[in-house]
Amino acid sequence: MGLVAKMDVARIVRTHITTAELEPPTELITSVNDGSTPLLEVVKGLGEYLTSTEDDVRLKGLTFLSNVVKVIAPGRYNRQATQTLTRYFLSKLDDFDSLPSALQALTVLSKLPTFDDEAAVDVYKAVVEEVNLKSYVQATRHMVYVLFDSLLATHRSALKAMGSDFINSYTKMVDGEKDPRNLLLLFSMEKVILLEFDVKDHIEDMFDITFCYFPITFKPPPNDPYGITADDLKLALRQCMSASPYFAKMAIPLFLEKFSTATGHSMRDLMLSMAACFPIYGVEAVGERGGELWEGIRTEIMYSSDTTIEAAALSALESLMRTLYPTEAEVPTGLAQDIIKEALTVLEEPEKSQGIASTKILAALVRASPSAGKYALSQALPQLFRQFNSPSLPSHRSPILSAISSLLISAQSVYSAPESGRHQYTEKSLEPFREPLLDVLREGLRTESLRGPAIRGSVALVEIPGFWGRDEVEDVVRGMNDILINDGDVEIRSAVINGLTTISRSYSSTIETVTLPLLFHHLPDTAPSLSDIDARSKYRSILDSLSRLCIQPSLFETLVIRINSKLDLLAPTPISDVETDEQECNVAYCWDLLNTLLTVIERKLVAKHLDIVKYFDAIVPRLYGLCVEAALPRAGGGKTLFGDRRLLSLVGRIGETMTWELNTERQAKQIDVVYKAFEKGEIAAMIHETTQIRTAGSPLRNGASSSEQDLIAVYSSTLQGLKAETPLPFSDAADYLSGKIHWTIHVATSPFQLRFALDAITALVNKRATELQSSLAEILEMVWVKEVIDTSNEFEVRRRGLLVYLHIVKALALIRHQLAYDAVLRVIECLSLASFDPVFVNEAARGFSVLAEGKGKGRERGSHLTAKLLCAQKLWNVVLPKLIEADRDATGKTRLVYLVAFSSLLPLVPSSLCLSDLPTILPLILRSLTLPDPVQRTNAITTLTSILETQNMSADVDKIIHQNAVTMVEGLAKSVLPDPSGDLETSGKVRSAALRCLAFFPDVVRHETLHTVKSDVLRDLGKALDDPLRIVRREAVECRAKWYRYGAAV
C-alpha cells in the first residue's frame, strides 16, 4: 500500500506542478485524511520542486503544499509534521512571491493542537523580523494580521510572556496601516492587547497606534462591496480607546484639543468616544480636567445646530457626571454644583432655546448619578414651581411645565428601569415635592395650552414604582378623562390615550371604574345626522379611545357588553334600497361600532390574549342573529340596518376571526349549526336565543330573496375560519363542493355574493384537498369544459367559471398540490387565442391577479388559508418560463396578453425571488411599464421598488441595476405625469408608486450612471408637482428633493 501510495503521490504531484494546477486533487486529500498516505509523503513527493533553483517552480511547489495544508483534517498532523512544516514555511517569509501562501499555511498550522507556545513565539518573531509590511498589498497585509489574530487567540499567554518585545515589535509592525478592512481587524486585536497585556510601560506606543486614527473620517463609497461602514470603524476604535485607563493622561488633552477643530460627524464621534472613555479613565484623571471638558461639552449642548451632536454631547455629560459622582455617597460639590447653578440661571428665561438646552442638561444629571441627580431636582423643582405659579408672562407657563415634565421623565427613565439599580423609594429625590407636583400637573391638565406637558409629566410619575398612591392616580386620570371628552385636538387626545393605556397596566380598576363609564356615557344611541360633523368626530374619537384602552382582559368585557347593547338599539332601524343620508349615517355608525370590536379583537390577538374564546357566544351568535333578522322577509316588506352589505362583510370578518380561535371540537359544533341553517333551513340554532325569527327556509334555496342570499357572507366566513382537521357535518365533500360551485356560477346574484362564495370555495379546496383528492381533477375539468371554454355560454357564466377555476388553482398552489401546476397551464394556453376570443382572453390574462393574491388577499393578518413554504416560488417557477416562452413565440398585438398576465402575477413573488430571476424578468418588468392599465403598471413599479429597496444587493444585481438604470428611470418617468400621455391611462396610485420608486435611485445607483438623465427627471418631476392629488404631490416633492441632492457633495 505504502509503495503504491508513494508512486501515486509522486505522479500526482508531478502532473499538477507541470500543468500549474495547484489545487490538490480530491483523491490525494482523501488518502491523506484516511491515513493511507502520510502527510510527510506529500512533502517528500514535492521535495525536488520545493528546493528547485527556479523561482517559478519553487513557488508552484510551495503553493501546492500550502493548498494541501489548508484542506486536510487537523487530526492528520503529528507534532513532527507540524514542526517541519512550520519551519519550512517560516523559511519562505523573506521570499516576496511566496509570502501569501506561506502565511495562509502558517495560519492553518497555528490553530493545530500540535502547534505549541514555542512555535507561536517563533512564528511571531520571524514574521516581524522578516516581513516588511509596507511593501505588500492590502490582501497580503491582511493575511499577516489574520495570522497574528490566530496566534493571539490560541497562544495569548506565550505572546504575553514576551513582554516588551512583543509590544515594541507589534506597534512598529502595524504602524501606518490605512485600509479599513485591515484596521477593523487590528482594532479588535488591540483591544485584547490593551485589556490583557501589560501595556503600562508602552502606553505611549499603544496610544500612537490607536489615537492616530481618531477621529475617523472614512466614508465608504455607495454600495461598497466590503460593507464596512464608518460606524463599524468608529465603534471598533472606540472600544480600543476605552480599553485602558492608562490612556487618560494623553487622551484627555487630545480630546480637549479636538473640541476646537472637530465638526459634524467628528464632533459627534468625539462626544460619544468621551462618553465611552470617562468611566474607564476614572474619577481622578477625568476630575482633573473636568471643568475644561464640561466647557467643550456645554458648547455643543447649548449652541450646536445638529440634534445628533447635541444628543451625543448629553451622553458625554451623563458619562462625565457618572464618573465623577458614581454613588449616592459622593457629595455633589464642585462641577455638578456649578453646572446646576448655571442651568437654573438660564432657566429664568424658560421659553428661550438655551432654557430648553438647560433642561436637557439637568435631565442628564438626573439620569447620570444618584447624588448629583437628587441635588439637581432639589434645586430645580422649587425654582420651577415658583416660576410656574407666578410667571413673568402667562405664555411662559407652558415651557416651565415642559421643563418640569422633562425632569420627571428622566427620573422615571432611571427609576422604572430595573437595570439602573436605582429606586425612588431609596433615593426619595421627589418625596419633598409630592404636593406641589400634583398641584402643577392638575393645573396643567385643566389648562388648554399646558395639556401636552402635563400629560407627559403625570404619566411619568404614575410609572415611577411606588411613588403615587391610588388616590393621586385617580386624580390625574379624572383630569385626563376630561381632556378625552372635551379636547378636539387629535394629538393631545392620542397622548392621553397612550397615557391612560400605560396607567391601565398598573391601575386597571381605576380605568375601569373612572374612565370607561364616562366614555360609554358619551356614545350616542342613534347616529348623528349627516351635517353634525362634530358629533360624529366626537363619537369616532371615543371609539378610537376605547379600541386602544379595552385591549386589556379586565376592560374587554365591558366593551363587549356596551357595544352589543348599542347594536341592539340600532338594529331595528329600517332601511330602503334608495340610499338616504339618514340611512348612511346609521350604517356608518354601526360600522364604526363593529369595527371597534374587530379592531380590539385583532389587537388582542396580536398581544396573544387567551380570553377571546370566552366571548365567542357573547359576540358571534348575537351578530349573526342581527344579520338573519334583517335578511328574512318582513311583514311590512323592507329591510333593516343589518341587511347592509358593508355591515355583513364586517360581521363576517368578526365571525371568521373568532371561529378560528375555537378548538376543533367547538369548531365542529359551530359549523354543524351553520351548515344546518344554510342547507336545511334550521336557522334558530345558529343565532342567539333572544332573537325572534320567522323561519323561511335555507337562505340559499331557489327563490330566496337577494337579501337572504347575502347571508352567504356569514356562511362563507364560518367556512374560512375552520381548521383543516375540524370534522365536517357532511360525508361527501366533492358533492358539497360541486353544489357550491354551481351556486357561485349560476345562482349568485351580485358581485358581493360571488366574492364570498369564491372565498368559501378557496378555503374548502385549500384545507380539504386530501378528502377531495380523487374528484378534484374531474371537478376542474368540468368547470373548464362546461363553463369556461364553451363559447355558447353567456359571457358572465364564462367569467365566473374562470374565477372559480382560478380560485381552485390558487387554493391548490398554496399547498403545492401538483394539480395546480397542471391546471394553470390550460389558462396559459388559452391566452394564445387572443385574436379569436379577445375579450375573454384579456379577462383570463388579468385573472392571474387571483393567483397573485396568495394567502393574504391584501390583508396582512387574518387570512386562515394554509400555505406551504415556498408555494409562491413553486408556482412562479412553473408559470414564468411558460409565459416567457409564449411571449417569445407570439407576435404583434397578441404578445400583449402575456405581458398583462405577467404583470398581474407579479405581486405573488417576494423580492428575494425577483432578485434571483432578475436577468430574465427585468426586461419584462421594463416592458410592463408601458402597459395601458395603471393597475398592472403599479404592479411592475412595486416590484421594481422592492428590488431597489434590497439591502446589500449582490455585485451581480448591482451591475444589472446600473446597466438598466437609465431605461428604468425613463420608463418610470412616463407614469409620474398627471396627464395621461399616449395610451397610458393613469391613476393616483400608479403616480404615487412611480414617484416612490424614482426616489430610490439616488440612494442605490451611483451618480455617474444617471447624471445624464438628472435634468430630464427634474423637469418631469416638476410637472408631477402640479398633480391634482395632494398626496401625490407630497411624494413628488420628496422625490424631487432627493434628485436635487443627487450627486451634490454634501
Partner 1 sequence: MSRALDNENPTIFAPTHATSSRRQPKSARALLWDSEADMFQESDMEDGSESEEEREEIDSEEVFDLLRSITDPEHPVSLEQLRVVNPDDIRVAGNRVLVYLTPTIPHCSMSTLIGLSLRVRLLRALPPRFRVDIRIKPGTHQSEHAVNKQLNDKERVQAALENKHLLQVVEGCLATAGQRGVGDGNVGAAPITA
Site for partner 1 in 426-485 (CB under 8 A): 452, 456, 460
401 binds partner 1 (CB under 8 A): no
Cβ at position 537, least distance to partner 1 in Å:
8
Cβ at position 250, least distance to partner 1 in Å:
23
Task: Report the C-alpha gap between 864 and 872 in whole angstroms.
Answer: 17
Nearest CA among 595, 693, 730 for reference residue 650: 595
Cβ at position 776, least distance to partner 1 in Å:
24
Determine which residue in the list 44, 855, 874, 1023 makes contact with partner 1, applying CB under 8 A.
1023
Determine which residue in the list 94, 487, 584, 949 makes contact with partner 1, applying CB under 8 A.
584
Cβ at position 491, least distance to partner 1 in Å:
5
Determine which residue in the list 114, 188, 383, 413 makes contact with partner 1, applying CB under 8 A.
413
Segment near partner 1 (CB under 8 A); pick from 810-818, 866-874, 905-913, 1018-1026? 1018-1026
Return the number of other C-beta atoms located less than 10 Å from residue 747's C-beta: 15
- Cβ closest to partner 1, residue 318 vs residue 512: 318
Segment near partner 1 (CB under 8 A); pick from 118-126, 325-333, 588-596, 898-906? 588-596
1044 binds partner 1 (CB under 8 A): yes
Burial class of residue 854, CB neighbours in 10 A (0-12, 13-18, 19+): buried
877 binds partner 1 (CB under 8 A): no
Determine which residue in the list 204, 348, 781, 1038 makes contact with partner 1, applying CB under 8 A.
1038
Determine which residue in the list 177, 300, 629, 787 makes contact with partner 1, applying CB under 8 A.
300
Contact 941, 994 (CB under 8 A): yes
- Cβ closest to partner 1, residue 195 vs residue 1041: 1041
- Cβ closest to partner 1, residue 261 vs residue 554: 261
Determine which residue in the list 79, 386, 428, 1045 makes contact with partner 1, applying CB under 8 A.
1045
- Cβ closest to partner 1, residue 226 vs residue 303: 303
Determine which residue in the list 181, 249, 522, 540 makes contact with partner 1, applying CB under 8 A.
540
Nearest CA among 404, 393, 410, 488 for reference residue 442: 404
- Cβ closest to partner 1, residue 64 vs residue 415: 415
Task: Report the C-alpha gap between 84 and 77 in whole angstroms.
Answer: 10
- Cβ closest to partner 1, residue 329 vs residue 1048: 1048
**Site size toward partner 1, by CB under 8 A:** 93
φ, ψ at 580 (rounded to 5°): -110, 165
Contact 685, 654 (CB under 8 A): no
- Cβ closest to partner 1, residue 591 vs residue 616: 591
- Cβ closest to partner 1, residue 87 vs residue 1045: 1045
Nearest CA among 856, 773, 858 for reference residue 812: 773
295 binds partner 1 (CB under 8 A): no
Task: Report the C-alpha gap between 833 and 955 in whole angstroms.
Answer: 41
Segment near partner 1 (CB under 8 A); pick from 41-49, 99-107, 590-598, 957-965? 590-598
855 binds partner 1 (CB under 8 A): no
Segment near partner 1 (CB under 8 A); pick from 32-40, 70-78, 188-196, 527-535? 527-535
408 binds partner 1 (CB under 8 A): yes
In 97-107, which positions are buried (b, 16+ CB within 10 angstroms) versus exposed (e)? ebbbbbbbbbb
Residues 6-45 that bind partner 1 (CB under 8 A): none
Contact 1022, 1040 (CB under 8 A): yes
Residues 303-362 that bind partner 1 (CB under 8 A): 303-308, 310-312, 314-315, 318, 349, 351-356, 359-360
Determine which residue in the list 403, 473, 865, 880 makes contact with partner 1, applying CB under 8 A.
403
Place of cell 403625570: 458
Task: Report the C-alpha gap between 632 and 624 in whole angstroms.
Answer: 12
- Cβ closest to partner 1, residue 305 vs residue 792: 305
Determine which residue in the list 152, 183, 585, 628 makes contact with partner 1, applying CB under 8 A.
585
Return the number of other C-beta atoms located less than 10 Å from residue 161's C-beta: 12
Residues 257-286 that bind partner 1 (CB under 8 A): 260, 272, 275
Cα–Cα distances (Å) from 325 to 335, 372, 420, in that order, read 10, 7, 15
- Angle of helix 988-998 versus helix 1030-1045 axis, rounded to 10: 20
231 binds partner 1 (CB under 8 A): yes
Q: In terms of DSSP H, where are the helices of 750-794?
A: 751-767, 769-782
1041 binds partner 1 (CB under 8 A): yes
In 515-548, which positions are buried (b, 16+ CB within 10 angstroms) versus exposed (e)? bbeebbeebeeebbeeeeeeebebbebbbbbbbb
Total count of residues recorded for the chain: 1050
Residues 165-184 that bind partner 1 (CB under 8 A): none
423 binds partner 1 (CB under 8 A): no
367 binds partner 1 (CB under 8 A): yes
Nearest CA among 587, 604, 679 for reference residue 641: 587
Cβ at position 698, least distance to partner 1 in Å:
24
Cβ at position 540, least distance to partner 1 in Å:
7
Beta bridge partners of 640: 574
Cα–Cα distances (Å) from 759 to 131, 649, 708, 764, 926, in that order, read 73, 12, 18, 9, 33
Contact 814, 870 (CB under 8 A): no
- Cβ closest to partner 1, residue 472 vs residue 933: 933
Amino acid found at 765: V
Task: Report the C-alpha gap between 381 and 371 in whole angstroms.
Answer: 16
Cβ at position 1000, least distance to partner 1 in Å:
15
Cβ at position 472, least distance to partner 1 in Å:
20
Determine which residue in the list 609, 645, 816, 826 makes contact with partner 1, applying CB under 8 A.
645
Angle at 234 between CA 231 and CA 238, to 5 degrees: 140
Q: x/- string (CB under 8 A) for partner 1, residues 553-582?
A: ----------------------------x-
Residues 971-1010 that bind partner 1 (CB under 8 A): 987-989
661 binds partner 1 (CB under 8 A): no
Cβ at position 1025, least distance to partner 1 in Å:
4
364 binds partner 1 (CB under 8 A): yes
Segment near partner 1 (CB under 8 A); pick from 151-159, 463-471, 586-594, 877-885? 586-594
**H/E element, 273:** helix 264-288
Residues 776-795 that bind partner 1 (CB under 8 A): none
Kindly give, in sequence order, each residue whose CB lies less than 8 Å from that of residue 16, ignoring residues fewer than 6 positions away.
Answer: 22, 24, 25, 64
Cα–Cα distances (Å) from 136 to 126, 141, 178, 587, 905, in that order, read 17, 6, 13, 79, 54
Segment near partner 1 (CB under 8 A); pick from 184-192, 690-698, 965-973, 1028-1036? 1028-1036
Q: Which three cell numbers stand for residue 336?
A: 455638578
Determine which residue in the list 107, 405, 547, 945 makes contact with partner 1, applying CB under 8 A.
405
Return the number of other C-beta atoms located less than 10 Å from residue 878's C-beta: 16
416 binds partner 1 (CB under 8 A): no
490 binds partner 1 (CB under 8 A): yes
Angular region, 1047: left φ>0, alpha ψ -120 to 50, beta rest: left
Residues 728-767 that bind partner 1 (CB under 8 A): 750-752, 754-755
934 binds partner 1 (CB under 8 A): yes
Give me Rg for the CA atoms of the chain.
38
Task: Report the C-alpha gap between 1020 and 1014 in whole angstroms.
Answer: 10
